[in-house]
């Protein structure tokens, strides 16, 4: 008989970490704990937006993105705690919908297909595409994670296109840091997926838990970059500036975007 979709270890995916080794309730202890870390970082990410001055028009976008990020963190913890089929789908689909929210609100108009005439039309296109992708994800759930990771290559391509138009060294530096964190993250993910036998042989099967922390760090740098480019397109009268809180010199910082309000002409 088919196991219950809510049952422990009913998922199609099982990561390299041993199951129930440190808890009788939590299947993958370190992946779950670092899922909590991921959740914490995802809640930090909206700080990238909170320091914006005079960006009241982004209130709806901010709330939607914050909610989707929060759900992604919660569902990640639930999946690794149970390794259930439902947990796997919730984890993957929350990431898909978070990406859909980001694309819908902040994808630059200059890259719209020619037949898309407004942000509203693009919003509907993103919604329909995401619904279709959601339905297709039930066909082979084990493939979903690979498809989601491939979206990162499109984001990197867009970043490269924008950097070619930008001469601000601070922007280039932040993009470089983002890419370094992403490379470390995807390397950890692939290592856990493809070299599991090696890591188990040396009793160090924790690379997926590293992925959680590293991809969250990459997101902390990605979000202000996205907003920086969006402000340049949508609010050209303002001058966005990237910064680090509490100070550039601190070893642990939260990157953010500050807006310089335009001076009124007399």
Instruction: Please return the burial class of 8, using the count of CB atoms within 10 Å of its CB with bins 0-12, 13-18 and 19+.
Output: middle
Helix (H/G/I), strand (E/B), else coil: 257: strand
| 91 is known to lie in a ligand binding site | no
- Residue 175's closest CA among 218, 214, 205? 218
HSE on the CB side for 163, CA within 13 Å? 16
d(CA 130, CA 93): 9
Query: Which neighbouring-strand residues pair with 11?
Result: none
Task: Tell me if the bond preceding 246 is cis, omega within 30° of 0.
Answer: yes
| 15 is known to lie in a ligand binding site | yes
Phi, psi of 256 (to 5 degrees): -150, 175
In sequence order, which ranges of the chain are alpha helices (DSSP H)? 29-44, 47-50, 59-82, 85-106, 119-136, 141-163, 169-194, 196-201, 207-234
| 211 is known to lie in a ligand binding site | no
| 162 is known to lie in a ligand binding site | no
| 80 is known to lie in a ligand binding site | yes
Concatenate the DSSP letters of all residues of 123-183 into one string: HHHHHHHHHHHHHHTTT-HHHHHHHHHHHHHHHHHHHHHHHTT---HHHHHHHHHHHHHHH
| 53 is known to lie in a ligand binding site | no
| 212 is known to lie in a ligand binding site | yes
| 263 is known to lie in a ligand binding site | no
Helix (H/G/I), strand (E/B), else coil: 254: strand
Query: Which neighbouring-strand residues pair with 144?
Result: none
What letter would DSSP give residue 239?
E
Binding site: residue ranges? Answer: 14-15, 17, 19, 28, 80, 208, 212
Binding site for Ca(2+): residue ranges? Answer: 14-15, 17, 19, 28
Binding site for Zn(2+): residue ranges? Answer: 80, 208, 212
């Amino acid at each position: 008989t088919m196991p219950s979709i809510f049952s422990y270890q009913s998922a199609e995916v099982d990561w390299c970490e041993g199951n129930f080794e440190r808890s009788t309730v939590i299947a993958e202890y370190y992946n779950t704990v670092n899922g909590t870390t991921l959740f914490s970082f995802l809640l930090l990410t909206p700080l990238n937006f909170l320091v914006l001055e005079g960006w009241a028009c982004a209130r709806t976008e901010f709330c939607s993105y914050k909610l989707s990020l929060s759900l992604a963190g919660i569902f990640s913890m639930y999946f690794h705690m149970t390794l259930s089929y439902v947990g796997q789908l919730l984890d993957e689909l929350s990431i898909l919908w978070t990406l859909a929210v980001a694309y819908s609100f902040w994808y630059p108009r200059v890259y719209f297909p020619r037949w898309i005439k407004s942000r509203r039309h693009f919003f509907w296109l993103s919604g329909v595409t995401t619904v279709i992708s959601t339905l297709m994800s039930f066909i082979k759930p084990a493939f979903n994670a690979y498809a989601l990771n491939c979206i990162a290559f499109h984001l990197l391509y867009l970043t490269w296109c924008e950097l070619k138009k930008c001469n601000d060294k601070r922007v280039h530096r932040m993009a470089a840091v983002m890419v370094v964190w992403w490379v470390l993250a995807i390397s950890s993910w692939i290592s856990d997926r493809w070299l599991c036998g090696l890591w188990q042989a040396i009793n160090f099967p924790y690379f997926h838990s590293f992925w959680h922390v590293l991809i969250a760090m990459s997101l902390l740098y990605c979000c202000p970059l996205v907003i920086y480019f969006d402000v340049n397109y949508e609010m050209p009268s303002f001058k966005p500036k990237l910064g680090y809180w509490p100070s550039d010199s601190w070893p642990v910082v939260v990157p953010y975007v500050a807006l310089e309000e335009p001076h009124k002409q007399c």
